[in-house]
Structure 1
Amino acid sequence: MIILASSSPRRRELLSRLVPDFTVVPAAIDERALPVLAPAPYVQSLAIAKAQAVAALHPAATVIAADTMCYQGADLLGKPKDRADAARMLRQLAGTTHHCATGLAIARPGQPLQTAVVTTAVTFWPLDDAAIDRYLDTGEYRDKAGAYGIQGQGALLVRAIDGDFYNIVGLPIATLGRMLHGLALD
């Protein structure tokens, strides 16, 4: 049995491209209880905590967990608290390059935990307040790291990406596929 330790509809849809039959069991962890680290180790620690929490409840299953965070320099850009917080993030990202990092963890019975971090650079177009308000009016910013969803209207904010598109959505399926099939990541 394969379990996705996430309630994200985007991750469910992306995992279904790799694995036709899996169960969803969101991890019951308090993300705020984990120490905030640099972006890559932070998302990795969150993915590991999620995988281990669900694997403890389902020890015979293969558990896949992921966590995505956008960041610019040392500034972590998680999910916005509200519309004002989303506007602040989008103003900060306008006309600049930021990064999205996803930590992956796979817990399999009797095997060491597999982990990876995938990072993608994202460059936004310059945005004025009217463009930001138009985007916020879509409501897509809710529950999205960095306050945008590249798979929807948020694509109109993005000038360029360098790296895995699906990583920005929340599940780097090429890397995950290699991990699931035991292929080298180099």
Structure 2
Amino acid sequence: MIDRFKILLASSSPRRKEILQMVGVGVRIFPSDAEEKIYPTPEETAVRNAELKALTVKDKAKPDEIILAADTIVVFNGKVLGKPSNKQEAIEFLKKLSSNYHTVITGFALFFPNGKLVSGLEKTEVKFKRMSLKEIEWYVETGEPMDKAGAYGIQGIGAIFIERIEGDYFNVMGLPIGKIYDILTLETKLL
């Protein structure tokens, strides 16, 4: 059923593309150049930025394509940990996450050919193992943390530091595909 959907992904994230392809969705990439903004809450920030991304590429979609955009953020003690701006900031982020839980929030937006915009979010709790400073510095030197919210990638080397996940694994990768599938089938009445 899911292979009937044609998605224009408003993201350059290889992880989001991989998740869609993994479940058999036809996907075309057209990254949004929308400037992300900060809103009063992390939830609003993730959802509104996803909506903005989807709407900025609506003129690029083919008549049968559904636009999908997403914004993933990491929240620790009420503060958003974005993509680190340098190695030192990545080290500081990982020191905070070590031995602690944090929340991964992905806001997503689907823009349908009929002009309807449907958005939502998913939250997942993630607990890191205790990491020594030596492990943190080694991990940062791999380069993996530098382009990822919270300075880690669960689908890569960062997986070795994860102790527990409560919620959707794919949300932590950047796309809660189960929830998105439910909306796609509801909105297009395929089931």
Establish whether TM, by shorter chain, passes 0.5. yes
Matched-pair contact (CA < 8 Å) for 1:69–1:146: yes
What is the CA RMSD across the aligned residues, in angstroms? Answer: 1.5
Deviation at 1:175, TM superposition (A): 1.0
Deviation at 1:39, TM superposition (A): 1.0
Matched-pair contact (CA < 8 Å) for 1:105–1:113: yes
- Whether 1:50 and 2:46 are equivalent positions in the alignment is no
Deviation at 1:13, TM superposition (A): 0.5
Deviation at 1:45, TM superposition (A): 0.5
Matched-pair contact (CA < 8 Å) for 1:39–1:76: yes
- Whether 1:97 and 2:101 are equivalent positions in the alignment is yes
Give the paired residue count.
181
- Whether 1:12 and 2:43 are equivalent positions in the alignment is no
Residue of 135, 143, 146 corresponding to 2:147: 143
Equivalence for 1:178: 182
Partner deviation per Cα, 1:31-84 (whole Å, 9 max, x = no partner): 1xx343311111001100001111144373310000100011221011111111
Matched-pair contact (CA < 8 Å) for 2:17–2:27: no
Deviation at 1:2, TM superposition (A): 2.4
Question: Superposed, which structure 2 residues align to 1:87-166 within 5 Å?
Answer: 87-166=91-170
Matched-pair contact (CA < 8 Å) for 2:111–2:117: yes
- Structure 1: gaps of 5 or more residues: none
- Match of 1:30, SS state, is coil
Q: 1:77 and 1:19 mapped to 2: Cα distance?
A: 32
- Match of 2:26, SS state, is coil
Q: 1:114 and 1:108 mapped to 2: Cα distance?
A: 8
Equivalence for 2:3: none
- Match of 2:25, SS state, is coil
Q: 1:158 and 1:170 mapped to 2: Cα distance?
A: 16
Matched-pair contact (CA < 8 Å) for 1:69–1:77: yes
- Structure 2: gaps of 5 or more residues: 1-5
- Match of 2:70, SS state, is strand
State the percentage of identical aligned residues: 35
